[in-house]
Amino acid sequence: MPYYIRRLPTQSKGTMVDPKSLPGNLAFFNPSRAGDITYIRVTEHEASGVTQRNKIFLFDNEKKEQHMIPSPWDQLVKTGNMFQGIEDLRITWFEDRLWFAGTTTHASQEMTNELIVGHFNKRLTEVEFLSTVDIGHLPVKNVCPFVWKGKLCLWDTFKRRIYEIYKEEQHPKKLFAKTIQTFEFGPGLPTTELRGSTSPIHLHGNTWGCVVHDIIFNDTPMVTFRLSYIHHWLEFDIERGQITFISQPFFIAHWGIEYVSGIYQDPKDREKITLYFGVEDRQALECTTRVHELRFGKALR
């Protein structure tokens, strides 16, 4: 049976940070956006060539202000891991704070990828609050924050769940999660495992959409031999708990390590979508497209 992949029609905005302008030990990649704020993951390769320390770059598209924020080392456990700090944040506005969800391998003594949720201070100059969040399984990757019915929520593509984030009065410095919706595949859709890429956006009525991904490997499990990410546009009925559409697979600009990490819906033209993505864990790029281009093609069979 033939398997098709298409190149997503886009208007390219190109590289967000010119790699030629950066010191050789810094890489900017895997961006995301909420409102006027854009986040980019920054890794600093130390002189040893082994350790990579993560930083947070925030840019205010309206005020044209930028902030380079270190990982909150005082809130993390010391580690000798190669990847240090908090990684691959997704951001959303909630109750006048810029919140994020991401992962780190040293939030606790578990020393594996754990889900962390927190927010920045109002000036966007430091991480003001951070908590691990238990969603019932480890490791955790690519669980994305969004706001639904006035609540801070997380979308978990892999487990097909939405969690509500909340605090308990007796634990003011700790966040908790509870499942408030689970999803089944609709008629004619494959019951396949897909992984999270972006937070969901509201399309119309009860229908929300997001970019998800799968990975093509060759016959060795080593990360350095990974071949390609493939992306899908996924839609779901948030009230009924049903996945209603999965697009044909696509790539954007690079057949290989191309990872879609952010999405932005134009408030004046809701069909206009900006996608944010990283290439080869070295570059941050953005492009614009339309909802109908994301949906183009038949659902998987």
In the predicted model, what is the mean pLDDT of residues 15-36?
88
Place of tokens 């009924």: 240
pLDDT of 301 over the 50 cut: no
Q: Pick from 252, 229, 250: which is nearest to 296 by CA?
A: 250
pLDDT at 223: 56
pLDDT at 155: 98
Q: Residue ranges per domain, the chain?
A: 25-295
Let me know: does 256 contact 227? Beta carbons within 8 Å: yes
242 burial via Cβ count (<10 Å: 0-12, 13-18, 19+): middle
pLDDT tens profile 138-184: 999 999 999 999 999 999 999 999 999 999 999 999 999 999 999 99
Let me know: does 246 contact 293? Beta carbons within 8 Å: no
**pLDDT averaged over the chain?**
92
pLDDT of 68 over the 70 cut: yes
CA separation for the pair 36, 231 (Å, rounded): 25
Let me know: does 41 contact 32? Beta carbons within 8 Å: no
pLDDT of 107 over the 70 cut: yes
In the predicted model, what is the mean pLDDT of residues 124-142?
96
pLDDT at 191: 81
pLDDT at 226: 62
Q: What angle do CA 290, 232, 43 make, to 5 degrees?
A: 95
CA separation for the pair 273, 266 (Å, rounded): 6
In the predicted model, what is the mean pLDDT of residues 205-229?
81
pLDDT at 255: 87
C-alpha distances out from residue 74 to 106, 107, 117, Å: 12, 10, 16
Which of 2.115.10.20, 3.40.190.10, 3.30.420.40, 3.40.1180.10 is the CATH number of 25-295? 2.115.10.20
Residue 275 one-letter amino acid? L
CA separation for the pair 89, 164 (Å, rounded): 18
pLDDT of 284 over the 80 cut: yes
